[in-house]
Amino acid sequence: MKRAVFWSGFVIILALIVWGMIVALNKPVKPIVPKLGTPAPVTAADHVSTASDTPVTLVEYSDFQCPACESYYPLVTRLLSEASTTVRLVYRHFPLNDIRPDGTVLHPNALAAAEASEAAAKQGKFWEMYNLLFDKHPEWTELPDPRPVFEKYAADLGLDAARFKADIDAVETKNLVLSEKQEGSSLGINATPTFFVNDKAIANPQSYEEFKSIIETAASTSTP
Amino acid sequence: MKNLNQLLRQPLQPVPLSLAIFVLALALIGFADATYLTVEHYRNVIPPCSVVSGCEQVLTSAYSTIAGLPVSLIGAIYYFSVLLGAAAYLESRKTFFLKWALLLSILGFLASLWFVYLQVFVIHSLCAYCLGSAVTSTVLGVTALVVFSKKGRSQQLNDEAD
């Protein structure tokens, strides 16, 4: 009898702990919408997922090396395929190549990856490179020098190797990436990914359903 | 090797009840902490990468899972086993249970050292609850080492007396 009471107590206490954690963590938290400026208008220089006009424009400031951006990549991809007539994606660079207090770089391969995507863009394959960089994230993010991997991706995409290398090295490519980051910083962005739906910053959705509903709401309220 | 064999085969000397309660309490804290991290892991929240605070990527890094299982879940199972051992000892007073709980604690302590190393030198990012677990498992591991070393010494004295 005493034994039964002891073990019942034991199980109840542990069950309470587990239940308490689940309840506490599953409380919906009010998302904090970051107070940010309005992103620069979409121009021909931007990378836009579709040429067609859509009621919703999703602007993403992103870093190819960022694990959170990688986590959002399948969500955004699904969104673009399921709501292709509603939403288009504009991808802008925000590489977190900043230096930490201990002297190490936050994402040391982020700038190189952004440059690789721009070099691919020069040959009309930005989105193909974008897909490869996110799909094969673990292949290059931790490398001391990711360049050979990017060159392999370029070869896989059938790009002109010499031109790709020259474009990666071009100062203009680096300046282009950094100017987009500069523009993002001027809006107040300090984290990736940061999304804007029809020029308004949104709190990062925590599920695909939430993301889709934000897009649908924006589509229903957007003026044609 | 001989010592390890001895440690595994020989029964634990009787230990004060307070020590078993101490182990139980620590394992309970560790269990709650690891459960929190496990629930957090399965909630699938994606923390953004920030210029200021890095990626908070401890819980999302490649090191956060082993063979698909979150490290925090393995931690919760570990603390649960220690808890079970300490509780079984308190209930039955059979030192066998406590001995295995303490042996497990040493493994937990070593695992914690590894995870703290990963956070500091590889991921370059610390996570408060992970460090909390490192503290509880370190105290548990040190307690186990102290108990075993005392036991070793008393064993030596017994051997000498024989």
Give the model confidence (pLDDT) of A146-162 as tens digits: 999 999 999 999 999 99
> Which pLDDT tens digit goes with each residue over A84-128?
889 999 999 999 988 877 777 889 999 999 999 999 999 999 999
ipTM tops the 0.85 cut: no
A 147-176 near B (Cβ less than 8 A)? none
> Which pLDDT tens digit goes with each residue over A186-199?
999 988 999 999 99
Q: How confident is the model at residue B157 (pLDDT cuts 50, 70, 90)?
A: very low
Is A204 in contact with A75 (CB distance < 8 Å)? no
The percentage of chain B sitting over the pLDDT mark of 70, rounded to a whole number, equals 78
Q: Is the link from the previous residue into B47 a cis peptide, with omega within 30 of 0?
A: no
Over the range B124-141, which residues count as b (16 or more CB within 10 Å of their CB) and which as e?
A: bbebebbebbbebbbbbb
Q: How far apart are CA A38 and CA A25, in angstroms?
A: 33
- In this prediction, residue B153 carries a pLDDT of 57
B146: Cβ contacts below 8 Å, ≥ 6 apart: none
Q: How far apart are CA B95 and CA B151, in angstroms?
A: 12
> Which pLDDT tens digit goes with each residue over A29-85?
666 788 899 999 999 889 999 887 899 999 999 999 998 899 899 999 999 999 888
> Which pLDDT tens digit goes with each residue over B88-113?
998 888 888 988 999 999 999 999 99
Q: How confident is the model at residue A184 (pLDDT cuts 50, 70, 90)?
A: very high
Other Cβ atoms closer than 10 A to B28: 20
Q: What share of chain A is helix, strand, coil (3-state, %, to 5)?
A: 50, 10, 35
* DSSP H/E element including A93: strand A87-93
- In this prediction, residue B58 carries a pLDDT of 57
Which of the two residues, B58 and B30, has the higher pLDDT score? B30
Mean pLDDT of B17-42: 90
Statement: residue A204 has pLDDT above 50: yes
Q: How far apart are CA A173 and CA A159, in angstroms?
A: 17
- In this prediction, residue B4 carries a pLDDT of 66
Using a CB-CB cut-off of 8 Å, the residues of chain B touching A26 are 43
Of residues A7, A14, A96, nearest to B49 (C-beta)? A96
What secondary structure letter does DSSP report for B39? H
Statement: residue B17 has pLDDT above 90: no
Mean pLDDT of B154-161: 49
User: pTM (2 decimals)?
Assistant: 0.69
Q: How far apart are CA A36 and CA A191, in angstroms?
A: 12
Which of the two residues, A142 and B77, has the higher pLDDT score? B77
Q: How far apart are CA A69 and CA A25, in angstroms?
A: 23
What are the φ/ψ torsions at residue A21 (nearest 5 degrees)? -65, -45
Using a CB-CB cut-off of 8 Å, the residues of chain B touching A14 are 31, 80, 83
Tell me whether strands A87-93 and A47-48 are parallel, antiparallel or unpaired. antiparallel
Maximum Cα interatomic distance, chain A, rounded to a whole number of Å: 81
Is A116 in contact with A173 (CB distance < 8 Å)? no
Of residues B44, B46, B91, nearest to A204 (C-beta)? B46
Is A89 in contact with A58 (CB distance < 8 Å)? yes
Q: Find, among A173, A170, A196, A167, the residue nearest to A61 by Cα.
A: A196
Of residues A21, A69, A192, nearest to B39 (C-beta)? A21
Mean pLDDT of A153-177: 96
Is A116 in contact with A154 (CB distance < 8 Å)? yes
Asked if A214 is an interface residue toward chain B (Cβ–Cβ < 8 A), one would say no
- In this prediction, residue A140 carries a pLDDT of 95
Q: How far apart are CA A16 and CA A9, in angstroms?
A: 10
**Mean pLDDT for chain B overall:** 81
Q: How confident is the model at residue B78 (pLDDT cuts 50, 70, 90)?
A: very high
Q: How confident is the model at residue B3 (pLDDT cuts 50, 70, 90)?
A: low
What are the φ/ψ torsions at residue B85 (nearest 5 degrees)? -60, -45
Statement: residue B70 has pLDDT above 90: no
Asked if B46 is an interface residue toward chain A (Cβ–Cβ < 8 A), one would say yes
B34 CB burial (10 A radius; 0-12, 13-18, 19+): buried
Mean pLDDT of B117-135: 82
